[in-house]
Structure 1
Amino acid sequence: MPFPAPLDHAEAVVFDAYGTLLDVHSAVQRHAAAIGPEAQRLSETWRQKQLEYSWVLSLCGRYARFWTLTERALDYALAQHPSVDRAIRADLLDAYRSLDAYPEVPGTLERLRRDGLRTAILSNGDTAMLDAAVSAAGLGDRLDAVLSVDPAGTFKTAPAAYDLAGRALGVAPERIAFLSSNRWDIAGAAAYGFAPVWVNRTGQPDEYPDLAPVRVIASLDGLLAR
């Protein structure tokens, strides 16, 4: 049976990791009772600053490991929310190394590979943190490649970061379906030439109308739906 669009011409499906396969807020959720009423806002600040630091460094032509940015972003978030006890810092960083996968992720990866498509991660995360996260989530045997932007020395949305997927998989960009929960990442993937699918898990309004996804889904369950 033919694949549904946008998989009908795809040879590989490449996923962003953080926020797409892995729940970035699960680290704080595990310790929400100890953190108190600021838990959700702390998590949101942590994530926003982590991304912001990657964008600023890329625009400056500089690079640092994503784990370093994750630590810096948490320090900023704790300073921004002083009611949270800083003693929780080490526990939160440990939890970030083993984020929860969204429930539909293992089954989706298995189905794609069973149907003959190659699967991979392309993430801003550095190699060590990706290895830890993939292992903790039990996804390693469901992926053909786990790719960090480290070799490119820049973060997505730089074309050099997206280059890594086709080079590692031996697949042309137009034959790669790229999934991300981050609308900015989808914009970058569209500009690069992937077939981008936006996993809009939280019902965010659309942005970047000139760099549109080929499909919008609420979770990975929608990828194979017709």
Structure 2
Amino acid sequence: MLKRRDFLKMTSAAAAMGMVSTVPGKSTSGDYKTKVVAFDAFALFNANSVVAAVEKMFPKRGAALSLAWRAAQFEYTWLRNSMGKYDNFWNVTRSALRHAARASDIAINDAQSDELMQSYLSLRAWPDAAQTLDRLKEANIRLAILSNFTLDMMRHCVVSSGLEGKLDALLSTDEVGFFKPAPLAYRIATTAFKVTRPEVLFVAFGGWDAVGAKAYGYRTYWANRASAASEDMGYQPDANSASLDRLVSFATTGNS
């Protein structure tokens, strides 16, 4: 039997994109000039510290609970897109934690929930993040985070990760009331910077996000840090690497 999680992985992107009528994205092949690089938050911020916090609170059960929590986070965003019932990512993350704890048969009180939620306000940067941002900035490319995170979550993590002053904009899906991969969520970047879709290079952490951005019409770099299998949705990222090591070359020359 097809499990809900597997079903959501296959259908959520299509369902969310079908909710909003948009003009199909232009082809991203051929001539281009990267004017903006927009990062998903997790492409810059390492969430492994959340796993450590959960393990400390629930020894020997932290890894499983963290995995269930992370899965529920994204399931809930996709479900809310499909239902047309948006709530911000902070609230979604808290709801996902409660669900994951129940599903894992772990009792968690409000104080424990609050403590674990705070871990999402102090994420550290991946080791290659700061240098990559600096090199892109030297190439006169504008930089942004385009994320389901709330602005408050992003601002806290920019400080905790030491990336202050390296980004031109923090763009939250709260602006439009749809989570990625809904087209309106990706449109935030073209609206904010007044550029066309092929002029934006989107850096995804999740394969589903790479697919969503590509379907919208962005050139897409998948920072596949988890070495995950690619999605089978009819779209593939333009570049795929386990880190940001090839991003600057791809953004400036088109070669990955």
Q: Above 0.5 in TM-score?
A: yes
Number of corresponding residues? 221
Question: What is residue 45 of structure 2 aligned with on the other side?
Answer: 22
Task: Between 51-60 and 28-37, report the one with greater CA deviation.
Answer: 28-37
Question: What is residue 19 of structure 2 aligned with on the other side?
Answer: none
Residues 174, 193 of structure 1: 8 Å contact kept:
yes
* Alignment counterpart, residue 43 of structure 1, candidates 63, 66, 77: 66
Residue 8 to residue 140, structure 1, CA distance change in 2 (3 Å): farther
Question: What is residue 112 of structure 1 aligned with on the other side?
Answer: 136
Tell me the CA shift for residue 83 of structure 1: 4.5
SS in 2 for 1:75: helix
1:68-115 CA-partner distances (Å, limit 9, x unpaired): 000001111222233565453222111111112111111111111012
Tell me the CA shift for residue 15 of structure 1: 0.3
Residues 34, 201 of structure 2: 8 Å contact kept:
yes
1:41-74 CA-partner distances (Å, limit 9, x unpaired): 1111111101000000101112001100000011
Instruction: Write the mapping of 1:1-226 to structure 2, written as runs, cut at 5 A.
Output: 9-17=33-41, 19-83=42-106, 86=109, 88-208=112-232, 210-225=234-249
SS in 1 for 2:220: strand
Question: What is residue 4 of structure 2 aligned with on the other side?
Answer: none
| Matched AA of 2:209 | D
Residue 153 to residue 31, structure 1, CA distance change in 2 (3 Å): closer
What CA distance in whole angstroms lies between the structure 1 residues aligned with 2:59 and 2:206? Answer: 27
SS in 2 for 1:125: coil
| Matched AA of 2:224 | N
- TM-score, length basis structure 2: 0.80
Tell me the CA shift for residue 24 of structure 1: 2.3
Task: Between 20-29 and 116-125, report the one with greater CA deviation.
Answer: 20-29
Residues 99, 137 of structure 1: 8 Å contact kept:
yes
Identity across the alignment (%): 35
What CA distance in whole angstroms lies between the structure 1 residues aligned with 2:30 and 2:81? Answer: 30
Residues 25, 43 of structure 1: 8 Å contact kept:
no
| Matched AA of 1:96 | Y
Q: Which runs of 5+ in 1 are unaligned?
A: none
- TM-score, length basis structure 1: 0.90
What CA distance in whole angstroms lies between the structure 2 residues aligned with 1:192 and 1:85? Answer: 39
SS in 2 for 1:140: coil
SS in 2 for 1:197: strand
Give the aligned CA root-mean-square deviation in angstroms.
Answer: 2.1
Residue 6 to residue 112, structure 1, CA distance change in 2 (3 Å): farther
| Matched AA of 2:116 | L
What CA distance in whole angstroms lies between the structure 1 residues aligned with 2:51 and 2:236? Answer: 32
SS in 1 for 2:179: coil
What CA distance in whole angstroms lies between the structure 1 residues aligned with 2:214 and 2:194? Answer: 19
